[in-house]
Amino acid sequence: MSQRYRGGWGASSVVRIVVASSNWNHLIQWLDMAILIMITAWAHKLIAPTAAVNACCTIEENNMTSTPVAPGLHWSGAFSFGLILSYTRGMKTFSIKESIKTSWEIVKKSFWFVVGTTFIYLLFNFNINFSAKSGGLGGEMSDYSVTTLLLVACIFLAIVVFLWFLRTIVQIGYYRIYLKLLDGIKPSFRELFSNSQPFWRYVGSTILYGLRILLGFVLLIVPGIIWGIKFQFMPILTVDKGLRPVEAMRESARMTEGHKWHLFKFGLVIMAINLLGLICFGVGILVTIPLSYLAHLYVYRKLSLPSPEVANI
């Protein structure tokens, strides 16, 4: 792949366009559009801004030398095509098909293990709602003293907190087990509960991730989708590399930069797979959920580096 698609500085490409152009009005319009694309790419963190301009320069050079790139492609179309080209080919990417295929092979190889761990995982992730109803304690609420009501409330609260702790530990263990499966290491059921580290960093990452998505949805939904894709690896980075929440946020932003559209398509595929699992009398999710986790972790491995350099958000 040409170096210009990797997001290097595009000054030389722009100079070639300026020198070769014989129509100054055309050139001014071209530069205006180039600046717009750079600002848009930077604002949305979709690609390196110069990668878009470099791709557009290549296509515009071809147009000026009468080399057809696509039927009916003119100078304004060159920018749109260049942006898409640099977005989809600008950086190393991953194969959705390969992620599903690899995950399915692991599921088949350890079928009963993944079904069993997923059953336990789902068991601890059900939301248990406690509601106080009239007569729920065997009579009217007014029939009990304040002390009794406070005692019952404390017991309920203790149960909720205890189940929350267990659920979080199981979530961490589930990630660890499936990271091992993906790496070709045979884990055990006991690992679902045996290692809760880093507990509070994981909690912090999930809370911060949820708040960013919530804020994004408040800002007209689309930012919520973009941030959901951008920061999706935060909990995994906390479990796998022990990063603090803010560090995990920055690293996830770095990993997903230039891959958001492909990750969005990957998310749609995963949703479709789990929908099929629900259609199969609900039992299918015992297979589709571990398949989805493994595929997600496969993508995580592909986009991560051995020694991540934490980037600014």
pLDDT, tens only, 277-297: 988 877 889 999 999 999 999
Q: Is 310 a domain residue?
A: no
How many domains does the chain contain in total? 2
3-state secondary structure of 137: coil
**SS3 per-residue string spanning 6-75:** HCCCCHHHHHHHHHHCCCHHHHHHHHHHHHHHHHHHHHHCCCCHHHHHHHHHHHHHHHHCCCCCCCCCCH
Same domain, 146 and 261: yes
Residue 192 and residue 71 share a domain: no
Let me know if residue 135 belongs to a domain.
yes
Structural domain that includes position 289: 96-303
In this structure, are 277 and 177 located in the same domain?
yes
Last residue of a domain, one of 52, 71, 89: 89
Q: Which of 36, 54, 89 is the last residue of a domain?
A: 89
pLDDT score at 157: 85
> Under a CB-based contact definition with an 8 Å cutoff, are residues 167 and 153 in contact?
no
Write the pLDDT tens digit of every residue in 33-87: 555 555 455 444 444 555 555 555 554 555 554 444 444 344 444 444 444 444 4
Mean pLDDT computed over 230-235: 94
Tell me, yes or no, whether 137 and 26 share the same domain. no
163 touches 124 (CB < 8 A):
yes
Report the pLDDT averaged over residues 210-232. 87
Please report, for residues 17, 84, 257, the alpha-carbon distance to residue 13 in angstroms, rounded to integers and kept in the order given. 7, 18, 23
Residue corresponding to tokens 């014989």: 22
Structural domain contains residue 218: yes
Instruction: Tell me if 309 is assigned to some domain.
Output: no
**Cβ-based neighbours of 37, under 8 Å, separated by 6 or more:** 49, 52, 53, 56, 79, 82, 83
Instruction: Say how many Å lie between the first and final Cα of the chain, rounded.
Output: 28
User: By three-state DSSP, how is residue 158 classified?
Assistant: helix
Proportion of the chain above pLDDT 90, given as a percent: 36
User: Model confidence at 15, in pLDDT bands (50, 70, 90)?
Assistant: low
Q: Are residues 103 and 63 in the same domain?
A: no
Any domain includes 122: yes
pLDDT digits (tens, 9 = 90+) for 128-183: 544 444 444 555 555 567 788 788 888 888 888 888 888 899 999 999 999 999 99
User: Is residue 312 in some structural domain?
Assistant: no
CB 298 within 8 A of CB 110: no
pLDDT at position 265 is 93
Q: Is the pTM of this model over 0.75?
A: no
For residues 71 and 163, membership in a common domain is answered with no
85-89, 202-206, 215-219: range with lowest mean pLDDT? 85-89
Domain-embedded: residue 290? yes
Do 148 and 232 lie in one domain? The reply is yes
Does the pLDDT at position 223 exceed 90? no
Do 245 and 234 meet the contact criterion of CB atoms below 8 Å apart?
yes
Out of 89, 118, 139, a domain closes at 89
CB 66 within 8 A of CB 109: no
- The reply to whether 115 and 76 lie within a common domain is no
Q: Is residue 179 in a domain?
A: yes
One domain for residues 30 and 178? no
Provide mean pLDDT across the span 189-216: 87
Is residue 230 a contact partner of residue 252, using CB atoms and an 8 Å limit?
Answer: yes
Do 103 and 69 share a structural domain? no
163, 123 in Cβ contact below 8 A?
Answer: no
Regarding whether 46 and 100 lie in a shared domain, the answer is no
Average model confidence (pLDDT) across the chain: 74
Same domain, 165 and 282: yes
